[in-house]
Amino acid sequence: MRSLAHTVTLALLRVGLVHSLSAQTPQMGWNSWNTFKTNFDQSTLQTTADLLASTGLKDAGYTYLIMDEGWQDLERDSSGRQQPNLTKLPDGVPGIAKYVHGKGLKLGIYSDAGIYDCGFYPGSYGNEELDAATYASWGVDYLKDDNCGGFYANTESPYTRFAVMRDALKTSGREIFCSLCQWGHQFPWYWADLVGQSYRMSGDITSIYSDTGKDCPVTGCSVLTIIRKMRELSRFQKKGAWADMDMLEIGNGNMTLRQQQTHFSFWAALKSPLIIGADVSKLAADSLSVLKNEEMIAVNQDSEGEAMHYLPELSVEKQSQVWAGALSRGRTVVLVLNEGNVTSAIEVELAKIPGLNAWKLYQVRDVWGVKSVRNIKGVVNVTVEVDETKVLVFS
């Protein structure tokens, strides 16, 4: 049994971490990995920064530009510091930071809580203070801290290794957001709020809507697979320690517009970080419109900070899913997903939705339908196309 002192210490750590950094809403931005893997360079980053600004994505809230694996050299320098691959980044990380900051954006960088990262570039294990100080001196605002090399770091737990970087970032002299990437390994929803501002709750996403994928514990997770995982995990979502459902695949692969809207709706209403994983220069107009949807972004960034929850009593397994969650100003958001293979008429009883009253008259906003209906009471009947999600905001 844990002692009272230990319990109090954990509580103080949680309060201190949650309020120490600007993580009161899920982070939004762009990451290089899903599209480019390690095949990006200075031009890629500068072009993306330009496009985030010119397309309106920055103004919509996507303010982090994150260099994933591949920015660094395979060896540390003579002083033991991680160093950039100057063939890819001739201006170095400070040069990229200056350019990104000049666009009104923030710069993110990638490392690992192990000896090596996933591609055997130098990880930060044993060099956390040096690396954190280096990032701060370069003007970095965000760290994605991976876990591939952690399995070679003796037998230390992810919590122990990530906590060292947490402490190093605190003393680096710069506020740096810390995003943990440990694929749900060792139940991070119980401890990640002590060491980072967001944490991955599953394996890597892929640009497939419904295929489960044999490797999903680590890679190959479809959109629907990750949504199903969140049925059990949404209750752990909290301000300052966001469960990260992984990068958005909107604009990648062959998802239909409805599937992309469903993808974005669930990531937004479950309060996942919204990190674009597509090549912004190749985004179709429909995909860009989904990513910039002001009403869905407002749900994600709502000051209440509460994720919606799955309602099994209103859902039919493999046919329909109904979710609901509280928003600020006494509002409630309800998502109705058609998971079947035919268009469905779905009845939603308001008495079974937490926070709603069956006898009260509501105004209901259909977010994707861009229409509002007044004086709704008792039940809502919606016709939902295959793969479509109706997003309804009750006020």
Tokens for 318?
Answer: 């493999």
Burial of 94 (C-beta count, 10 Å sphere; 0-12/13-18/19+): middle
**pLDDT for position 292:** 99
Within a 13 Å sphere around the CA of 271, how many CA atoms are in the beta-carbon half? Answer: 32
**Length in residues, the chain:** 395
Angle between helices 128-138 and 158-170 (to 10 degrees): 40
Predicted confidence at residue 147, as pLDDT, reads 92
Q: Which residues of the chain have pLDDT under 50?
A: 1-12, 15-20
- Residue 345 carries which DSSP code? E
Which pLDDT value is given to residue 153? 55
pLDDT of residue 343: 98
What is the dihedral sign for C-alpha 120, 199, 85, 136?
Answer: negative
Which residues contact residue 152 at a Cβ distance below 8 angstroms, ignoring those fewer than 6 apart?
A: 114, 115, 116
CATH number of 309-394, picked from 2.40.10.120, 3.40.228.10, 2.40.30.10, 2.60.40.1180: 2.60.40.1180
Q: Domain limits of the chain?
A: 4-300, 309-394
Report yes or no: 194 and 163 within 8 Å, Cβ to Cβ. yes
Say what the pLDDT of residue 2 is: 40
What is the crossing angle of helices 257-269 and 223-233, to 10°?
20
Q: What pLDDT was estimated at residue 154? A: 61
Give the pLDDT of residue 7.
Answer: 45
Beta bridge partners of 108: 66, 142
Question: Which sign does the torsion angle of CA 80, 82, 85, 91 carry?
Answer: negative
Whole-structure pTM value: 0.95
The rounded distance, in Å, linking the Cα atoms of 219 and 223 is 12
Place of tokens 């040096």: 130
**Residue of 46, 30, 65 whose CA lies nearest to 252:** 30
142 bridge partner residues: 108, 177
Tell me how far apart the alpha carbons of residues 227 and 190 are, in angstroms, rounded to a whole number. 19
Fold match, 4-300 / 309-394: no
Query: Could you give the angle at the alpha carbon of 77 between the alpha carbons of 73 and 79, nearest 5°?
Result: 150
Each residue's pLDDT tens digit, 175-190:
999 999 999 988 999 9
Active site residues: 146, 204
The verdict on domain 4-300 having CATH code 3.40.50.720 is no
Token readout for 182 is 């440990």
What DSSP letter does each residue of 187-220 carry, written as one string?
A: -GGGTGGGT-SEEE-SS-B-S-SS---TTTTTS-
Provide the pLDDT for residue 152.
Answer: 60
